[in-house]
Structure 1
Amino acid sequence: MDKRFKHTLVAFKICPYCMKVLTIMCHKNIKFEIKFIEMSNKPDWFLKLSPLERVPILIIGEEVVLFESAAIMEYIDEITPPKLMSEDPMQKALDRAKFEYSNEIIKNLYQFIFCLEQEKFIKLKEWLIKHFKQMDDWLKDKKYMNGTELSLVDFNFVPVFVVLNMLKPILPCDMLKDYKRLQNYGDSLTSMSCSKTGRVPDYEFLMMDGIKNKNTVLFRSNPCYFNGPKPSRCCFFGK
C-alpha cells in the first residue's frame, strides 16, 4: 500500500462514535491499522494530533488527520464506491441533520447508562423515549431511513441498537416497546455482519464493568446480574 494513503484509526474501545466509524470501515472493507488509547490517560502524541482531543481520528499517510466521526465516515464513503451518501443536495442535508440527531441520541443514551443519580436517570429515560418516537416517525413504512436500501445515515444509529440489545436484561423498561418500526430497524442494523465485526474485543465486558465500577443506577437496580455468571466472551473485532 502507498504510505501516502495508509489509514490508521485512533479509537477508545467503548466509544460509540468510534463504533460508527469501525462499522462503516468494515462494511466497505477498508484496510486499516488501529491504535487504542485510554481517554483517562491520553498520550502526548494523540493530544498533538487531535484538534479537539477526542476520538476517533483517522490518520491518512503521515500528515493528514481527519477528526469527527461524520467527516471520517463521509471520507470513507467517498473513496469506496458505490457511495452510500445521496448525491441529492436536499437528501444530503437531511441526512447530515440526522447524523447530528444520532449524536444527541448516543450522548444521552450513554449518560443514561452511566448515570449515578436516580432523578436524572428518569429524566434521561423520558428524553430517550420521546426522541425514539421521532426516529420511529421517520421510518414510516421504510426498512431504512431513506427507503429499502442502506444509506450512510443508517450507520450512525448502529451503536444505539448495539447498546440497547446488550442492556435489554437490565433496563427498567423496554424503551422501544411502542415503536415496532424502530425495533425492526434496530434488528436489521444489528444483524449486519459489519455491526459485529465493528465492535472491539470484549466490548460487552468493558461496558458492563464500567457500569458496575461506577456504581450507576443501572447497577444498583440489578446488582445480581452484574455479579452473576458472565455471558460468553466475544471478540468480534479481528483487525
Structure 2
Amino acid sequence: MTLHLISHALCPYVQRVAISLTEKNVPFNRTTIDLANKPDWFRKISPLGKTPVLRAGDQAIFESSAILEFLEETQPAPLHPQDPVARAQHRGWIEFGSATLTDIAGFYAAPDAHVFAAKVASLTAKFSVLEDHLNGGPYFAGGRFSLVDAVFGPVFRYFDTIERIDDFGFLTGRPRVQAWRRALTERPSIRDAVSEKYPEMLWTFLLNRQSHLSAKMAHAQQGNPAA
C-alpha cells in the first residue's frame, strides 16, 4: 500500500503523522499544499478542508487522530501501549495535546492584552498539569516513545520561536516538562518532521497575524534586527 501524506508546511497535526510514520520506519510520499489556495483535488478528499490527509492506495483518510489510529492498526512498531487502560489514557492525553495546540493558537491570535493574558494563564496551567503527571522520563511514559510524544513534539516546537520574542514563563519552575522538551527536540523523527525553513516561516506567519503577539514581535525586531 502506497502512503501519501498531504501536508501544510506549518501544521502541527501534519507533523504528528509524519513523526509516527518515521518512527514506524514506513516509507511515504509527501505533498505540501497552500491552505489559502486549496487545489480542487484537495477539496474533494478533505471534507473539512484541513490537513493532514493520508492517501492509502486509492483511499483518503482525513483528521490526524483517525490517521494515527489507522497507522497503529496497519503498520509495524506500535506507538500505543499494549495495555487497554494505558492505551485509553494515552488517547486522552493526545486530546490534551490538541487542547494545548488550541490554546497556542489563541495565544498567538489574541487581539488585545486581556485575551493574551488569559491564554498565557491557560497554557501555563496546562504545563503545570503535565509537570505533575510526568515521572522519570525521558519520554511521556518513561523510556518508550509513544504517540503522546509525537503529539507534543510539535507543541514544544512553537516555543523555539516564541522564546525569541519574550519569556512568558510557560515552563518556568517545571523541570520535568523542560527535560521532556529537550528529549523530544533531540529526537530525529521530530526534528525532521518540518523543513529547515520552518522557523523563518513560523516567524513570518506570527508576525502577520496583526495580533497582540505580533506587536510584541515588531518591538523585538526593532531592538534586535537579527530576530
Q: Determine if the alignment matches structure 1 residue 15 to structure 2 residue 21.
A: no
* Percent identity between the two aligned chains: 27
Instruction: State the alpha-carbon separation in 2 of the partners of residues 167 and 199 from structure 1.
Output: 17
Q: Determine if the alignment matches structure 1 residue 101 to structure 2 residue 88.
A: no
Q: 1:222 to 1:212 in 2, by over 3 A?
A: closer
Q: Determine if the alignment matches structure 1 residue 229 to structure 2 residue 223.
A: no
CA contact 2:46–2:62 (8 Å) conserved in 1: yes
Q: Which residue of 2 aligns with 1:234?
A: none
State the superposition RMSD in angstroms. 1.8
Question: 1:57-136 alignment to 2 at 5 Å?
Answer: 57-62=53-58, 64-136=59-131
Could you tell which deviates more after superposition, 143-152 or 188-197? 143-152
Report the number of matched residues: 225
- Residue 129 of structure 1 aligns to which amino acid in structure 2? T
Q: Determine if the alignment matches structure 1 residue 140 to structure 2 residue 139.
A: no
- Residue 37 of structure 2 aligns to which amino acid in structure 1? N
CA contact 1:24–1:73 (8 Å) conserved in 2: yes
- 1:119, distance to aligned residue in structure 2 (A): 1.2
Structure 1 stretches lacking a partner, 5+ long? 231-239
- 1:45, distance to aligned residue in structure 2 (A): 1.1
Instruction: State the alpha-carbon separation in 1 of the partners of residues 109 and 21 from structure 2.
Output: 28
Instruction: State the alpha-carbon separation in 2 of the partners of residues 222 and 204 from structure 1.
Output: 14
CA contact 2:207–2:217 (8 Å) conserved in 1: no
Structure 2 stretches lacking a partner, 5+ long? none
- 1:140, distance to aligned residue in structure 2 (A): 2.8
- Residue 146 of structure 1 aligns to which amino acid in structure 2? A
Q: Which aligned segments of 4 or more residues in structure 1 are displaced greater than 3 angstroms?
A: 77-80, 224-227
Structure 2 residue corresponding to 1:188, chosen from 183, 186, 200: 183
CA contact 2:161–2:202 (8 Å) conserved in 1: no
